[in-house]
Amino acid sequence: MSKEWPLWEVFIRSQHGLAHKHVGSVHAPDAEMALNNARDVCTRRNEGVSIWVVKAADITASSPGDKGPLFEPANSKVYRHPTFFPMPEEVKNL
Amino acid sequence: MLIAMAPETGVATARFESLLRLSDSTLILAQRLAEWCGKAPALEEDIALSNVALDLIGQTRLWLAYAGETEGAGRTEDQLAYLRDAHDFRNLLLVEQPNGNYADTIVRQFYFDAWHYPLLQTLARSTDQRIAGIAAKAVKEVAYHLRRSGDLVVRMGDGTADSHAKTQAAADKLWMYTGEMFERDGVDDAMIAQGMAGDAGALREPWLAHVREVFAEATLTLPAPEAWMQTGGRRGRHTENLGYILAEMQFLQRAYPGAQW
């Protein structure tokens, strides 16, 4: 058994209606204690209304080497942005 | 002592004493916990303990400020914290016990939290609005302290053979300092008569039941409830530990009176 506690990624929702946002990570032997530790380490200044913790090992991340094939094709496709399309005069707020 | 005084004076004196019993226990425990700062077994524990210590300091300030007003001698919370000697402190003997190993610290915390939480619930119903207000604010913090310390007792008691042995040793060693939490004397009688405080003796059975339940889950043996208990802290008779704590805590104000930053 490793002597180090596993790493957990911490996500905090700063207020109702917003999404959880990654804020950092903590070490803990299990989920319950990870939640406690996240509360103690990451919400000392009234940062949130909800905490998620996820085992860092359970997160599958894209590889930095894949940056080209994954993201570059989108660079040349500005028409995917809504601002690309002209707005009719009559529409005031959209 | 109270009988000879005018009723209002007696009540004020009892309230002053009673507030010191609250403030001094939270203050000395916070000071003890702060000793771990920077050297707890894990970074997360380090921050968690400091958080608990800071919660307790916050509560101490509220209790001491009110104690100073009740006394009416113009003493501020700082003067009460930094310029009283050991025999004027009214904290439980439990909280001045050394940090020892981590099991000692956590069991001490659990014994205290399991008493502190229902005590504050009782005080939140005090006829004294100021006491009720402070208790209502503190009880939310202490609910978390108790959840955390109880959880750690289970983890360490039901952990490895080594952590179990250390936690059991801590539970046994600190047991004799728990009886004091449920004592009742003239000060308490005066407070209870005014509806300003509840009877701490009534907290003993629920406390025992709670500790028994957590210890069962932690595979720890509950020490004998009828064992002989230490007493004296609430009346200013302390173990030698308190003098050392105060020497460190009060050094700055003693050496440089009135120093501010």
Domain A7-84 class, CATH top level = alpha beta
SS3 state at A57: helix
A27, A32, A44: residue with CB nearest B44: A27
Triad B114, B217, B98: Cα angle to 5°: 45
End-to-end CA distance of chain A: 57
What pLDDT does residue A34 have? 96
* Half-sphere exposure at residue A58, Cβ-oriented, CA atoms within 13 angstroms: 9
What pLDDT does residue B114 have? 98
B47, B148, B151: residue with CB nearest A41: B47
Residue A46 backbone phi and psi in degrees, to 5: 60, 40
- Read off the pLDDT of residues B94-122 as tens digits, 9 standing for 90 and up: 999 999 999 999 999 999 999 999 999 99
Domains of chain B: 7-255 (1.20.1260.10)
Confidence of residue A84 (pLDDT cuts 50, 70, 90): confident
Cβ neighbours, 10 Å, residue A79: 9
What pLDDT does residue B241 have? 97
* Residue B140 pLDDT greater than 60, yes or no: yes
- Read off the pLDDT of residues A32-66 as tens digits, 9 standing for 90 and up: 999 999 999 999 888 889 999 999 999 999 998 98
What pLDDT does residue B9 have? 67
- The answer to whether A25 faces chain B, any CB pair under 8 Å, is no
Query: What residue ranges do the domains of chain A occupy?
Result: 7-84
* Residue B4 pLDDT greater than 70, yes or no: no
Kindly state the average pLDDT of the residues B154-183: 98
Kindly state the average pLDDT of the residues B137-156: 97
Burial class of A74 by CB neighbour count within 10 A (0 to 12, 13 to 18, 19+)? exposed
A28, A29, A40: residue with CB nearest B47: A40
Q: Which two tokens stand for residue B220?
A: 């720890």
Residue recorded with tokens 């109702």? A16
Confidence of residue A86 (pLDDT cuts 50, 70, 90): confident
What pLDDT does residue B261 have? 79
Triad B38, B42, B46: Cα angle to 5°: 45
Residue B156 backbone phi and psi in degrees, to 5: -80, -40
- pTM summary value: 0.89
Which amino acid is it at A68? G
Q: What is the mean pLDDT of chain B?
A: 95
Confidence of residue A2 (pLDDT cuts 50, 70, 90): low
Least confident of A55-59, B1-5, B11-15, B233-237: B1-5
What distance in Å separates residue B45's CA from the closest CA in chain A? 8
- Beta strands (DSSP E) in chain B are none
Confidence of residue B13 (pLDDT cuts 50, 70, 90): very high
Confidence of residue B2 (pLDDT cuts 50, 70, 90): very low
Cβ B51–A29 below 8 Å, yes or no?
Answer: no
Chain A to chain B Cβ contacts (< 8 Å): 27
What pLDDT does residue B7 have? 58
CA A11 vs CA B16, B89, B174: distances in Å: 45, 44, 39
Cβ B42–A32 below 8 Å, yes or no?
Answer: no
**Is the pLDDT higher at A83 or at B159?**
B159
Instruction: Determine the Cα–Cα distance for residues B187 and B128; give it in Å rounded to an integer.
Output: 15
* Closest residue in B to A8 (Cα–Cα): B44
Q: Which one-letter DSSP state was computed for residue B224?
A: P
Confidence of residue B260 (pLDDT cuts 50, 70, 90): confident
Contact criterion met (CB below 8 Å) for A40 and B44: yes
Kindly state the average pLDDT of the residues B15-35: 98
* Residue A81 pLDDT greater than 50, yes or no: yes
Cβ neighbours, 10 Å, residue A58: 9
Residue of B44, B47, B106 best to disrupt the A interface, most CBs of A under 10 A: B44
Name which of B161, B258, B175 is nearest B211 in CA terms: B175
Which residues have a Cβ under 8 Å from the Cβ of A74 and sit 6 or more positions away? A80
Name which of B12, B15, B9, B29 is nearest B241 in CA terms: B29
- Read off the pLDDT of residues B217-247 as tens digits, 9 standing for 90 and up: 999 999 999 999 999 999 999 999 999 999 9
Q: Does residue A88 come out as left (phi exceeding 0), alpha (psi in the -120 to 50 range) or beta?
A: beta
What pLDDT does residue B117 have? 98
What pLDDT does residue B54 have? 97
Cβ B155–A41 below 8 Å, yes or no?
Answer: no
Instruction: Determine the Cα–Cα distance for residues A61 and B217; give it in Å rounded to an integer.
Output: 39
